[in-house]
Amino acid sequence: MFDKPFSATTFVLFFILCDVSLATIENAKDNQKSTYIVHVAKSEMPKILNHHSIWYRSILKSISNSAEILYTYDNAIHGFSARLTLEETQLLKSQIGILKVLPEKIYKPLTTRTPQFLGLDKVTDMVSESNATSDIIIGLLDTGVWPESKSFDDVELGPVPTSWKGKCESGENFTAANCNKKLIGARFFVKGYEASVGPLNATQFRSPRDSDGHGTHTASTAAGSAVKGASLFGYASGIARGMAPHARVAIYKVCWEDNCVGSDILAAMDAAISDNVNVISASLGGQAVDYDEENLAIGAFAAMEKGIVVACAAGNDGPTDSTLQNVAPWMITVGAGTIDRDFPVYVKLGNGQHYSGVSIHDGSLTPRTFVPLIYAGNARVKIGAELCLTDSLDPEKVKGKIVFCDRGNISRVEKGLVVKSAGGVGMVLGNGEIDGEELVADAHILGTAAVGFSASKAIKMYLQQAQNPTATLVFQGTVVGIEPSPIVSAFSARGPNPITPDILKPDFIAPGVNILAAFTKDAGPTNLDQDDRRVDFNIITGTSMSCPHASGIAALIKSVYPNWSPAAIRSALMTTAYVSYNNGKKLLDSATNGPSTPFAVGAGHVNPIASLNPGLVYDLTADDYLNFLCALNYTPERIEAVARRKVSCDAQKHYSVTNLNYPSFGVVFKPVARSSNATIVKHERTLTNVGVAGTYKASVTLDIPSVNITVEPNVLSFNKNEKKSYTVIFKASHPPRRSQSGFGRLEWSNGKTIVGSPISIIWE
């Protein structure tokens, strides 16, 4: 470009032009608008104004003539959301009454036999479910609903509860007539999405109608009516019903094209609180951040204060440590496990060997005889062929063959589409070492067998050694009674809690693998654009599926004990969860194929029947959570952003995170000099008797001999409804030589009822 020597003048001119260009770019960035959520101290509103929304508009007008409010929030937070430039946000922060100005955050959806597996077929023996549960309303924040599904049939239900204050919004292909006595409410929130992401595309319904299927699936899992003859292509056939089949459903559509925007989520929670739901189920999440910066957590705090149980998915980023989402202590955090049902398929090789896998086959043509088998990496036309990436396979080499694809990079079902598009007649999808032996069944668009890492290695060896490798796939349908089950899913997010390790999360696990539930008729079971199959039910996997199991069970408990707090309900779910199989061995972890730890399983696997009679509970109030925030040294402004009111921490009072009355124990030993004496951590707890009068005795197990645990007192006698407190002293005799963690369990027993709490121990 520059073929002549530069003069000094040329250099000066060149750098001036560069400076001008960079300044122009920076100015353009400064003038770009983004969505922000503004937290306001409502108490600062001028008395001359009669409504906070007027005040919010006046604040915004004072710093911008062009900014417009997206949402005004009344319940979830005190504040509003708006599109602002960087300069406008700085001006806004200086205004009286402004607590926080947070940038928009985008969340993601975290994507039958389970009633029988959980023992819910026995609930009718304990609860007059049709009467008690029908007054409970579960609000679901998700992708919407397919109202025509039989899972939302209202034949067995009476009038809509008088407590309900919500509505059924009309929109594209959706009217108020789509709601009934089961699906009593449906709303959609899209302003935040369109402001941050852009206009909806033509595939999305501008209404509560579900074009994705995720929301329909979670809603029917939580509270779907019983549907006989449900299945996916004949798999998992039987009666499909939700955890609380007589509870009412209210839909809050906040997710669009796999994006759920924070301002929309807050607006939905605002509405759900106003509508008087009893349970909020949110199968979505984002990276964990401090509680005063987490929209979902702040909205959940407001819901908790109204007595609403909020259950959230733990996330699908396991088995890596500290990957948990939705970790605020006033929320229920749910991990995922398997159930005792599988969909086996065998890969038969030409050498006579066969290897087991899983899959769901729609019955379309798949070779019943041996056909050539090829490794995808040997049919390469571009990089990524071994992973069966789009357009990476050579049709001349793939046509008429079963293709072995490595897992990773793109979705499992997309790989099947790539193989089919290249002319393949079947696929073997092989786990890598990081995937281990955990298998997930998908409704692939061609015959497929997903196999574990060990089988994957063996099949690859055969492909390398055989001169003319061949294979066939043999589908076995549905098999129940699989043992051992449940097993903690490898994808289920793990502790320790990334924000406050003293609060052990997840709280517990629930069924989240290969779950059959209702689905949209606007998409195929793979959600691929090219999948033109339509189904009434689909089988999906993720903590998104485990969350509505917990929500539905929480609704059952709420129907039996309507005056219990959200904390008491969570306590009942946690302290009655089980951590071992009938043979006494610990629940397995799919990631390690060894015993699970509380970082994976929390308090254990949910046990709905036992949770209805927990004996004792650990209760909490909003003030307890505020003391917890004081213990974290939150400033008054940070606490007000969460609590929506002024709170002052008492400088004379000793606040401790370890005194939060949580049903588990996250023990964190701080660094000390090796020459120092033993380190001691104390946790204080209070139990409330919700059963019959009796005496409970404490017992403790721990897998670290260097830590001693003392419970004072270790015997508690209760009258009915009586509260008793105790202290647990954890004493480490010496600091570890390297990073170390340990796990244990504290149980209170009266000889009949066991009240269990997990223990995790880490050194910072």
DSSP 670: P
Helix/strand/coil percent split, the chain, to 5: 25, 30, 45
Which active-site residues does the annotation give? 142, 214, 544
- Burial 354-371, CB ≥16 within 10 A → b, else e: ebbbbbbbbeeebbeeeb
Read off the tokens for 739: 């990073």
In the chain, what's the furthest Cα-to-Cα distance? Answer: 97
Q: Report which secondary-structure segment, H or E, holds 239.
A: strand 235-240
The sign of the dihedral angle between the CA atoms of 286, 291, 293, 295 is: positive
Burial class (CB in 10 A: 0-12, 13-18, 19+), 17: exposed
**Exposure class string for 244-275: b at 16+ Cβ within 10 A, else e:** bbbbbbbbbbbbbeebbbbbbbbbbbbbbbeb
Angstrom distances, CA of residue 136 to CA of 216, 280, 313, 352: 19, 11, 21, 56
Q: How far apart are CA 129 and CA 243, in angstroms?
A: 11
The residue written with tokens 């995808």 in the block is 376
Q: How far is CA 539 from the centre of its chain?
A: 17
* Amino acid at the residue 258: D
Tell me if 506 sits within 8 A of 543, measured CB to CB. no
State how far the Cα of 488 lies from the Cα of 339, in Å rounded to an integer. Answer: 10
CB atoms under 10 Å from CB of 405, counted, come to 28
Distance, CA of 641 to CA of 331 (rounded, Å): 17
Residues 6+ apart with CB under 8 A from 20: none
Task: Please name the helix (run of DSSP H) or strand (run of DSSP E) that holds residue 193, with its range, or none.
Answer: helix 191-196
C-alpha of 561 from chain center = 26
Mind giving me the DSSP string for 263-329? Answer: HHHHHHHHHHHHHT-SEEEE-EE-----GGG-HHHHHHHHHHHTT-EEEEE--S-TTSTT------T
Relative orientation angle of helices 636-643 and 295-305, to the nearest 10 degrees: 70
Which uninterrupted H or E stretch holds 107? strand 106-109
In whole angstroms, give the CA distance from residue 312 to residue 304: 13
Strand partners, 252: 141, 187
Kindly report the number of other CB atoms within 10 A of residue 476's CB atom. 14
Integer angstrom CA distances of residue 340 from 191, 356, 437 = 42, 16, 16
Cα separation values, 407 from 348, 397, 470, Å: 20, 20, 21
Residue 147, token pair as written in the block: 């109202």
Beta-ladder partners of 730: 681, 709
Q: Which single residue is written with the structure tokens 């647990």?
A: 728
Cβ(218)–Cβ(542) below 8 Å: no
Please tell me the distance from the alpha carbon of residue 298 to that of residue 296, in angstroms, as a whole number: 6
Structure tokens of 604?
A: 């254990």
